């Protein structure tokens, strides 16, 4: 089944045929490996997001789908036809995408750009014993492609793909040849068609031995080593052939650009015309600063080629991970024109465009763009748009950076909006108390806010989800988060791999940015007068975030400079900004922090779970534990920030907690396979609590729990692949009502939302360890929280919807959350948010219920 473009209604339907689910938003970061990103001639960018292959549209700046199938991290991607295959691209709607993963598997996907459909074509035969690190290929005819794959097992494999031009549109892939390169693997490849050789191919490979190895072959796949190019003094990380270039009266020349961890870029020229004068004495007047340094000769199909060093480019200050020739353009006479322009990307956080100077022919750096980030590491790769008007980089923070040349007479490269997301497992997420935006936390040590951004260009037009703030950038993996009561209800508490919970409050800059995002009228701008904090500054150690006040920059500076150990290192001050359009990566990383207002001390180990009552006044938190004293649940009062209770029941880590809708009960589930229900009553001195029930609920660890919004019923989900529905009886005991049919995998996330109070009907969302999500109708039982058990109808349940795998996560679902809705229409669409170990945050719309 093929999903439509982002935001459309997917084809997934329930077993009753009534409900459908649509993709609203996908947020994901890019895997932090070289060769992971590929910008196709179809206009889509492919990249690996954990075990999935994600596709994003640079025009819309959003991810359109994720492709499941790999069982390990995706390392590299390649589009066929490539951007260089301009003759084969014309009026072509069917494109193929190749992806290689760290377990040695290569998959092929068929992309129909005309219909907006994508399907898995096939999995290639397993030829690599270790991870695939690079893919390179070219089309040699309208239906045949030759491509190569390299792996850390020390082999390079040559493949042939034949596209059947039928209505079905299948393809066949066969392995032609395997080259063993010895104990030092190749990590970069480039493949080209030799000029004037009737389809003969040249393959360049580079890796850990600091040399560029040149192989020649034909479409049969038999490649023979021709020569090797020496010069680099460290690993070779990227190679790219140009199209044949006509220079003056010479025959077509082929250029190869290479980049290395020695921080240099080398341009090699391969010229078949140089052989005729190979045995003659070179002319003295040719010797100069721009003269070629002659390299080795090699022979392909009775033609001799002279290799020479065209240029050595020095400009980057760190490893150069990526080099790429500007894609060719198609001339009117069906000839491809190769622009003499090279894009390089480096760990020094810079991308550069190199071009030969018009008068001297010397290669110079004509454009430099870069990023400002907290990390000392920069870019893993840089890529051209097929038309050469935009450039894209992906960096250490899993982020994309895109610049577009918007100049009319001269070059003017400006940042563009791109997708963003976490680059490590997303451990928890929650909707804001009013449901306006989504807050997620991750093991990438960041907290991010995603929200629908409404454009002001045309009222009522398309709304695109964007990351609008990064409230917390931390020094520990963040495990849990909850919203609490605060000014404007924009205050949250998070727990990380440390013993303290931290409370953050929205600054003025965020409140105004949110106003622009939602296009709310500014009639309530007077409410902002009480907010004295404009933003926050990151501390040097990356743990505390200090406020920047609206009035008094002098005080801010003095407080920062006199704050003990944090001032031993200096970092640039943040500039809190009110954004009138979605912020880009540099702005998110520096200028959208929230100030930390309080710390909650008490737990003896790393925080694992946190929740808040529905009034936002009591916080419950738990930590990793292997004994009963450490497994205590702590209750905190919002406002006084005092510990008002320590609930003892479990013996191992409490994995999730949730308050009943009327805040009368607190439900907790644990690794010890038990559930506990506590009675909670707010008092003037804090809170009173007592244990109502504790029982062994499942045979394996219990991962998730959720209350019915209309009654004292709740669900628990476990590694034993079951979901059980329970009821609190007369506030004194817990009774098992029903066990749902066993699922295909461990149940790791639950979320219950109400639809009809009169019939006590609701929807239970169930997330599993394999990334799948199902929706179940639950109705009957007790009708409300104050009804008695007598005369109640039996509980009924039915599976209403199984999400299409193309919509789902590809790894464990960590959390599901229904958007808080004030709508009384039970037929209105609902939004469901999910996060998982595949680094993704997803928002779905469930319709026609």
Q: Is residue 248 part of a domain?
A: yes
pLDDT above 50 for 288: no
Q: Of 383, 398, 376, 443, which is closest to residue 585 (Cα–Cα)? A: 398
pLDDT above 60 for 283: no
The CB-side HSE value for 495 (13 A sphere, CA atoms) comes to 29
Q: Is residue 88 part of a domain?
A: yes
Q: What is the pLDDT of residues 13-61, one digit of tens each?
A: 444 445 789 999 999 999 999 999 999 998 999 999 999 999 999 998 9
The residues, any chain, with a CB within 8 Å of residue 681's CB and separated by 6 or more, are 664, 687, 688, 689
Q: Is residue 518 part of a domain?
A: no
Q: Is residue 778 part of a domain?
A: no
Average of per-residue pLDDT values in the chain:
84
What pLDDT, on the 0 to 100 scale, is given for residue 5? 40
What letter does residue 47 receive in the DSSP assignment?
E
Q: Is residue 236 part of a domain?
A: yes
Per-residue tokens: 512 = 């105004």
| CATH number of the domain residue 213 falls in | 2.130.10.10
Q: What is the pLDDT of residues 447-464, one digit of tens each?
A: 999 999 887 554 456 689
Q: Provide the domain limits for residue 76.
A: 71-274+290-373
Q: Return the minimum-mean-pLDDT range out of 420-429, 628-637, 840-849.
A: 840-849
Q: What is the pLDDT of residues 244-256, one digit of tens each?
A: 887 665 667 899 9
Per-residue pLDDT band at 674 (split at 50, 70, 90): very high
pLDDT above 90 for 705: yes
Q: Is residue 53 part of a domain?
A: no
Q: Which residues of 128-145 are buried (b: 16+ CB within 10 A; e: fewer)?
A: beebbbbbbbbbbeeeeb
3-state secondary structure of 154: coil
Q: β-pairing, 830-836 with 9-13?
A: unpaired
Cis peptide before 422 (omega within 30 of 0): no
Per-residue tokens: 181 = 């390169």
pTM of the model: 0.90
* Maximum Cα interatomic distance, the chain, rounded to a whole number of Å: 108
Q: Is residue 503 part of a domain?
A: no
Split into its structural domains, the chain has a count of: 1
Contact assessment for residue 512 and residue 532, using Cβ atoms and an 8 Å cutoff = no
pLDDT above 70 for 285: no
Average pLDDT of the segment spanning 787-797: 63
Per-position DSSP letters for 195-255, written without gaps between them: TTSSS-EEEEEEETTS-EEEEEE-TT--EEEEEEE---SS-EEEEEEPPPEE-TTSPEEEE
Per-residue pLDDT band at 561 (split at 50, 70, 90): very low
Q: What is the pLDDT of residues 473-520, one digit of tens each?
A: 888 999 999 999 866 668 999 999 999 999 999 988 888 888 888 876
Q: Is residue 200 part of a domain?
A: yes
Per-position DSSP letters for 528-544, written without gaps between them: GGG--EEEEEE-TTSS-
């Amino acid at each position: 089944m093929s999903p439509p473009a982002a935001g459309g209604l997917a084809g997934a339907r329930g077993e009753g045929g009534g409900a459908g689910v649509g993709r609203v938003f996908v947020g994901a970061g890019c895997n932090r490996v070289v060769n992971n990103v590929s910008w196709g001639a179809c206009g889509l960018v492919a990249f690996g997001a954990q075990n999935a292959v994600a596709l994003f549209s640079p025009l819309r700046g959003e991810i359109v789908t994720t492709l499941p199938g790999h069982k390990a991290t995706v390392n590299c991607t390649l589009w066929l036809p490539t951007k260089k295959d301009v003759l084969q691209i014309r009026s072509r709607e069917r494109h193929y995408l190749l992806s290689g993963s760290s377990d040695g598997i290569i998959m092929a996907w068929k992309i129909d750009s005309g219909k907006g459909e994508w399907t898995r074509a096939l999995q290639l035969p397993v030829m690599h014993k270790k991870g695939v690190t690079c893919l390179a290929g070219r089309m040699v005819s309208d239906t045949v492609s030759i491509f190569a794959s390299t792996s850390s097992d020390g082999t390079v494999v040559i493949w042939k793909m034949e596209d059947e031009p039928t209505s079905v549109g299948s393809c066949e892939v066969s392995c032609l040849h395997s080259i063993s390169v010895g104990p030092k693997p190749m990590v970069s490849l480039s493949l080209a068609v030799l000029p004037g050789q009737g389809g003969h191919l040249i393959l360049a490979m580079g890796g850990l031995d600091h040399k560029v190895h040149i192989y020649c072959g034909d479409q049969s796949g038999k490649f023979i080593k021709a020569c090797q190019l020496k010069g680099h003094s460290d690993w070779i990380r990227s190679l790219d052939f140009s199209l044949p270039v006509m220079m003056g009266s010479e025959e077509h020349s082929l250029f190869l650009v290479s980049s290395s961890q020695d921080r240099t870029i080398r341009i090699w020229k391969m010229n078949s015309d140089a052989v005729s004068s190979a045995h003659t004495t070179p002319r003295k007047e040719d010797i100069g600063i721009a003269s070629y340094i002659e390299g080795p000769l090699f022979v392909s199909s009775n033609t001799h080629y002279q290799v020479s060093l065209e240029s050595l480019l020095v400009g980057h200050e760190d490893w150069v991970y990526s080099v790429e020739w500007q894609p060719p353009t198609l001339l009117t006479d069906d000839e491809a024109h190769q622009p003499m322009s090279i894009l390089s990307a480096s760990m020094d956080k810079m991308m550069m465009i190199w071009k030969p100077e018009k008068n001297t022919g010397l290669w110079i750096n004509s454009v430099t763009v870069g990023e400002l980030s907290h990390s000392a590491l920069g870019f893993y790769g840089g890529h051209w748009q097929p038309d050469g008007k935009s450039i894209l980089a992906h960096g250490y923070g899993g982020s994309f950076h895109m610049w577009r040349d918007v100049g009319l007479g001269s070059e003017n490269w400006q940042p563009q909006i791109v997708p963003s997301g976490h680059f490590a497992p997303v451990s928890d997420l929650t909707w804001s108390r009013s449901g306006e935006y989504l807050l997620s936390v991750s093991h990438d040590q960041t907290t991010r806010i995603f929200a629908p951004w409404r454009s002001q260009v045309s009222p009522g037009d398309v709304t695109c989800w964007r990351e609008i703030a990064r409230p917390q950038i931390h020094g520990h993996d963040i495990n849990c988060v909850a919203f609490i009561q605060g000014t404007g209800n924009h205050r949250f508490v998070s727990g990380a791999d440390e013993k303290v919970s931290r409370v953050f409050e929205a600054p003025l800059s965020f409140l105004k940015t949110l106003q622009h995002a939602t296009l709310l009228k500014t009639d309530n701008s007077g409410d902002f007068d009480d907010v004295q904090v404009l933003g926050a500054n990151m501390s040097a150690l990356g743990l505390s975030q200090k406020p920047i006040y609206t009035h008094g920059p002098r005080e801010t500076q003095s407080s920062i400079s006199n704050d003990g150990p944090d001032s031993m290192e200096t970092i640039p001050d943040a500039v809190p900004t009110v954004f009138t359009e979605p912020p880009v990566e540099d702005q998110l990383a520096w200028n959208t922090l929230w100030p930390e207002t309080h710390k909650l001390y008490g737990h003896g180990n790393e925080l694992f779970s946190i929740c808040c009552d529905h009034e936002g006044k009591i916080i419950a938190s738990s930590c990793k534990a292997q004994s009963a004293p450490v497994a205590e649940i702590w209750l905190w009062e919002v406002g006084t920030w005092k510990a008002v209770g320590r609930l003892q029941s479990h013996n191992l880590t409490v994995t999730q907690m949730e308050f009943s809708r009327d805040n009368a009960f607190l439900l907790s589930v644990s690794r010890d396979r038990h559930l506990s229900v506590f009675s909670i009553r707010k008092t003037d001195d804090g809170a009173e609590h007592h244990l109502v029930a504790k029982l062994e609920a499942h045979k394996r660890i219990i991962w998730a729990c959720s209350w019915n919004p209309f009654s004292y019923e709740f669900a628990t989900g476990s590694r034993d692949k079951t979901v059980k529905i329970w009821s609190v009886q007369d506030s004194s005991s817990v009774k098992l009502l029903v066990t749902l049919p066993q699922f295909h995998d461990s149940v790791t996330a639950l979320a219950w939302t109400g639809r009809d109070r009169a019939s006590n009907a609701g929807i239970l969302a169930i997330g599993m360890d394999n990334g799948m999500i199902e929706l179940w109708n639950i109705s009957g039982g007790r009708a409300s929280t104050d009804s008695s058990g007598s005369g109640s109808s039996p509980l009924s349940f039915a599976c209403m919807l199984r999400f299409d795998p193309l919509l789902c996560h590809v790894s464990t679902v960590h959390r599901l959350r229904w958007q808080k809705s004030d709508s009384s229409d039970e037929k209105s669409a609902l939004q469901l948010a999910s996060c998982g170990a595949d680094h993704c945050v997803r928002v779905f719309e469930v319709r026609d219920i």
